[in-house]
Copies of this chain bind each other. A is one copy, B any other.
Amino acid sequence: MNVLEKIVNSVNNFSKSERKVADVILANPQTTIHSSIAALAKMADVSEPTVNRFCRRLDTKGFPDFKLHLAQSLANGTPYVNRHVEEEDGPEAYTAKIFESTMAALDTARQRVDIATVNRAVDVLTQAKKISFFGLGASASVAHDAQNKFFRFNVPVVCFDDIVMQRMSAINSAEGDVVVCISHTGRTKNLCDIAAIARENDATVIGVTAYDSPLAKECTLVLSLDVPEDTDMYMPMASRVAQLVLIDILATGFTLRRGSKFRENLKKVKDSLRGSRFDKKDFNN
């Protein structure tokens, strides 16, 4: 846990003097990291050993170590404490908060994603006869995105956001086919059905979903992200971004696995778009 959060959370366990220290640090954290223990003690109007004890209480080795932790908490991109959007936030505030909480979510996702499973998923995908991406609601756009990416690999890939089409597609799947089911909660009934049907028909089912969810139970392979979602907003945000990045990772793993020769294909696809675009040079002139 972030040192700053830690300070806020354990404010009740502090003694009177320690709280003085906490207040000063929270008020100007940026200044703190460039202060000596003497300067900070003076600011908080306490003695130097008190500051030292304060640092130790926060499970740091001492004042210099504490400053290190604090510096990391304050580093760019790292969300400070309480980055939830508040009613009274102006555009500046909520823009910063959303960017920061999204970045924080990605960082969490990075730490939690199981590399071995990612690797196996790439394995499976590279050997697939056909790849299907299924998602509903917010996850549908992730599925679309995945299709857009894998489509470039010259592999048969489909994507449906319609349960009837998904069902028909799942029933028609066969051994060697890979079905990727995307759902943040993993509790969407229809999608669980799809996964079950696909597996009954010998397809490999990869779930981009919460570990230990009903959907996860139906999958051959589960890619869990476990991003804490700010449910206050009633809209999936961070989770879906994390899913997209995961898709990016799978796609990247795919291209790397296929080797350099294969990457020529990507260039071809990219070049094919040229006709539909304004030329960069033409426009600049």
A-side interface residues toward B, CB under 8 Å? 33-34, 64-65, 67-69, 71-78, 85, 87, 89, 91-92, 94-96, 98-100, 102-104, 106-107, 109-110, 113, 115-116, 118-119, 122, 137-138, 140-142, 144-145, 148-149, 152, 185, 187-190, 192, 213-214, 233-235, 237, 240-241, 244-245, 248-249, 251-253, 255-256, 260, 263, 266-267, 269-270, 273, 276-280, 283
B64, B77, B237, B244: which contacts A78 (Cβ < 8 A)? B77
A176 to B263, CA, bound (A): 46
A71 near B64 with CB under 8 A, answer no
A145 to B100, CA, bound (A): 20
A109 to B100, CA, bound (A): 11
Task: Give the 8 A-B residue pairs with the shortest CB-CB distance, closest first.
Answer: A75-B75, A77-B77, A234-B266, A141-B145, A99-B110, A72-B75, A141-B144, A91-B119
B276 near A189 with CB under 8 A, answer yes
B95, B145, B234, B278: which contacts A152 (Cβ < 8 A)? B234
Please give the distance in Å from A64's CB to the nearest CB on chain B: 7
Please give the distance in Å from A217's CB to the nearest CB on chain B: 9
Across the interface, name the chain B residue whose C-beta is closest to A94. B252
A98 to B249, CA, bound (A): 7
B95, B99, B109, B148: which contacts A137 (Cβ < 8 A)? B148
Across the interface, name the chain B residue whose C-beta is closest to A234. B266
Note all chain B residues with C-beta closer than 8 A to A107. Answer: 76-77, 99, 103
A253 near B72 with CB under 8 A, answer no
B109 near A99 with CB under 8 A, answer yes
B75 near A71 with CB under 8 A, answer yes
Note all chain B residues with C-beta closer than 8 A to A100. Answer: 110
B94, B95, B214, B256: which contacts A283 (Cβ < 8 A)? B214
B91 near A270 with CB under 8 A, answer no
Please give the distance in Å from A31's CB to the nearest CB on chain B: 12
B98, B106, B189: which contacts A103 (Cβ < 8 A)? B106
B278 near A252 with CB under 8 A, answer no
**Can you identify 25 A-B contacts, CB atoms within 8 angstroms?**
A33-B68, A68-B68, A69-B71, A77-B106, A89-B256, A91-B115, A94-B253, A95-B118, A98-B249, A99-B245, A102-B245, A106-B106, A138-B145, A138-B148, A140-B148, A141-B145, A144-B144, A149-B235, A152-B235, A187-B277, A189-B277, A233-B252, A234-B267, A234-B270, A235-B266
